[in-house]
Amino acid sequence: MQSKFLILLVVLFFTGCAVHHQQEDIVGTDFDFASRQLQIAVSEVEKAKQNETPDKVSPRTIESEGCLHLVPSRDWTSGFFPGTLWYMYEYTDNNQWKELAKKYTASIEPEKMNGNTHDMGFKMYCSFGNGYRLTKDQNYRDILLQSAKTLITRFKPKAGIIRSWDHNTDKWQCPVIIDNMMNLELLFWAFNETQDSVYYHIAVSHAKKTIENHFRQDYSSYHVIDYDTITGEVLKKNTHQGYAHESAWARGQAWGMYGFTMCYRETGDPVFLEQAQAITDFIFTHKNMPADLIPYWDFDAPEIPDEPRDVSAATVIASALYELSLYDTLNAGKYRQWADTILTNLSRDYLSPLGENKGFLLLHSTGSKPMNSEVDVPLSYADYYFLEALLRKQKLKSGK
């Protein structure tokens, strides 16, 4: 009996060591994979460009027939591929990635003047923002400041929000989507650079209005809130990319969790920290959160467990968890364990086979299932937030 007990202890010890070793190596292993896979991605992009119009600049996904889907700079996803290359440069300090990042970043500069979209943060901050952070190129700074100036032209003072879409005018007068929380980081950056308080006040106003109007009692979020810009009244509450208006679209919950964590970092206002904590609690206590913590595309989708997953939501959540753990010390261990679990499962079960899928890193994301668009495919923003989460994990370990 004693010998069997000793054997069990030895097995448990080495099992524990194996799990610990896996966590120790996951950042290096995944970045090594990303390095090889993204070299293929660059080659595939350049090949695809030969058959496309000159305005197509960045990869977004793979189309149903297997072709690489490139988008113009005006597409909301255009900044993620340059941003991914900047993260490769940050991790490797290899000038090859720096030069590639500069090349693909330069192609979306015209967007600094595009006032027809709220997605300035996604496009410009993920690309030029990372570029400026890593190089201090003053031209990048000028482009970012112009981008912030352009973004605030969409602010509606009576409603206190930044307008999101200009399309679907038959459905909404002034729609604001939960995704827009992610674009506020550009405005906080502009305030920090210039000390012009207009950027700060607009960002805070938008965030507080989002808390007031986007969230239900259980801290799940609507996708779209429609405002009357004269009275500031809420006209409609919809969930455009989710299963139903009252359902919890997974990526929407992720955008909110990430966005309010960032707002707390930039303001120190406990209201934003409490909102991020509450959204996190909703996500991780939901009965339909899978055991591997890679959510279904909507927490209320009717055919769970036979519904598509959304890896892009998982990567945003993991990245947000690592940052949130810096501010909520009481729950830091739990948050980091959840984030580690997500990264471990993504690395084990959701990575593309090396050399396949046009160089994308992760499979099984969902763009918009109600419109049968980008269902169970790789997506550029899933890859971007995956590398961001890995970098945040590494920085936490090193104490940076």
The set of catalytic residues is 119, 179
The one-letter amino acid code at 278 reads: A
**How many Å apart are CA 309 and CA 295, to the nearest integer?**
6
Cα–Cα distance measured from residue 104 to residue 243, given in angstroms and rounded to the nearest whole number: 35
Angle 248-350-367 (CA atoms, 0-180°, nearest 5)? 40
Cβ within 8 Å of residue 42, ≥6 positions away: 100, 359
Amino acid at 304: I
Distance, CA of 135 to CA of 98 (rounded, Å)? 9
DSSP character at residue 155: E
Contact between residue 297 and residue 369 where contact means Cβ atoms under 8 Å apart:
yes
Please report the DSSP string for 181-219 in residue order: GGGHHHHHHHHHHH--HHHHHHHHHHHHHHHHHHB-TTS
Among the listed residues 180, 175, 204, 209, the one whose alpha carbon sits nearest the alpha carbon of residue 118: 180
Instruction: Find the length of the chain.
Output: 400
Q: Which of 68, 66, 65, 64 is nearest to 43 (CA)?
A: 68
DSSP, res 351: B
CA-to-CA separations, 61 to 44, 67, 159, 191, 386, in angstroms, rounded: 12, 9, 35, 34, 15
**How far is residue 51 CA from its own chain's centroid?**
30
Phi, psi angles (nearest 5°) of residue 381 = -75, -25
